[in-house]
Amino acid sequence: MSAIAEYPDNLVAAKCRALLTGYDLIYSDNPYVPVAVESYVQAAIINPETNATSRTFESGGVLDVVAEYRSRRILIDHKTTSDDIEDPSGPYWRQLAIDGQPSHYMLLEWQNGRKVDEAVWDVMRKPSISPKKITKAEQRQAVANRKYFDRPLSQFSLDELQLEPRETLEMYEARLVWDCTQERPQRYFQRKTIPRLDSELIEYARDLWDHGQEILHARNAQRHTRNPWACMNYGSPCKFLGICSGYDTADSGQWRRKECVHNELTLNSDGRNVITNSRIRCFQTCRRKHYYEYELGIERIDEEEKESLYFGTLWHVAMEAWWKSFMKGQDNGNRNKSASSELANGGNGRQATLAF
């Protein structure tokens, strides 16, 4: 069995470490001064038309970064994608232009007396290159120079190269670092400002009120319609497809109730009356899925985390550490080391180090 097959989590971590190196190089002269990182914010849901306050729901969300820049308050949100991000007028950016997430967060801050001037999408494109076989000439050169893409090789990689002309994870990481720093940095990293007028935030507040009323109606009526067109979103089956299609039941013993229905939040309640941007998106996608996710609040006992979700989790862990290093009292010179050490723990407590 190859080293890559033995350590699938380590492959994801290697990707994140390489991209973090590129991110740190490109944005090392960071103009934003963070004042809050990964902060949970909540507020009442208010109908702008009547000033009525919801007696059932409140709004909430975790803000990646709130920063100051030239006396302006900036909201920064991290995104990972496999889509093209180089074209500023491409489909990816067009979709984000109407995304409700920045409006949701900016409204939360406004209601808490901390008005945000603008938001910034901080986007990283996931790599499409994978570990590969190398030529005999590349093998000999790497062994002779004890380097690969200008990065020193460990004895582990040198020993592996003696056995097979194939990149180890360390070598793959070195090639990805070169690609995202020297060859194609714009392919991997882009930032774009998202302006929001006060009128747009008020319009979003109306939408938020309407979403709350629709969720409340579905709850009271016990009507949770299915959307078959969403069963295979992103090329994989919805985790609740077995229940919806009659092959499983929510009380089969394969499922358990979550303490909090919001995986991304730490609350003192079960969270069923908290409306987040993720919850709204789920409700819009499929009301039956929303019922299982946020009303029943169930999860499979043996559910494995998808690589894409694990990748996103690791990247957010790294970004949290990186941005915190810019806060007052932190040693900026060690920010990349600090973020990389977070990656070594695999984000969710899973070990994701390279076994050299």
Q: Give the pLDDT confidence score for residue 340 in this predicted structure.
A: 56
Cβ neighbours of residue 157 under 8 Å, at least 6 residues apart? 148, 168, 170, 171, 356
Domain-located, residue 83: yes
What is the end-to-end Cα distance of the chain in Å, rounded?
A: 16
Q: Does 307 score more than 80 pLDDT?
A: no
| DSSP per-residue codes, 38-83 | EEEEEEEEE-TTT--EEEEEEEEEEEEEEEEETTEEEEEEEEEESS
> Tens digits of per-residue pLDDT, 196-214?
999 999 999 999 999 999 9
Domain-located, residue 91: yes
For the entire predicted model, the pTM comes to: 0.85
253 and 117, same domain (yes or no): no
Domain count, the chain: 2
- DSSP-assigned beta bridge partners for residue 228: none
Give the pLDDT mean for 310-335.
82
Q: Give the pLDDT confidence score for residue 308 in this predicted structure.
A: 72
Give the pLDDT mean for 324-335.
71
> Tens digits of per-residue pLDDT, 287-303?
999 999 999 999 999 87
Domain-located, residue 176: no
267 and 311, same domain (yes or no): no
Q: Give the pLDDT confidence score for residue 339 in this predicted structure.
A: 56
Residues in the chain: 356
- DSSP-assigned beta bridge partners for residue 320: none
Q: Does 341 score more than 80 pLDDT?
A: no
Residue-range definition of the domain harbouring residue 277: 205-300
Domain-located, residue 319: yes
Going by pLDDT thresholds of 50, 70 and 90, the confidence category of residue 309 is: confident
| DSSP per-residue codes, 74-128 | EEEEEEEESS--S-TTSHHHHHHHT-SHHHHHHHHHHHTT---SEEEEEEEEPP-
99 and 54, same domain (yes or no): yes
Q: Give the pLDDT confidence score for residue 266 in this predicted structure.
A: 86
Tell me 189's DSSP state: E
Domain-located, residue 7: yes
Cβ neighbours of residue 233 under 8 Å, at least 6 residues apart? 285
- Give the CA diameter of the chain: 75
Per-chain mean pLDDT for the chain: 89
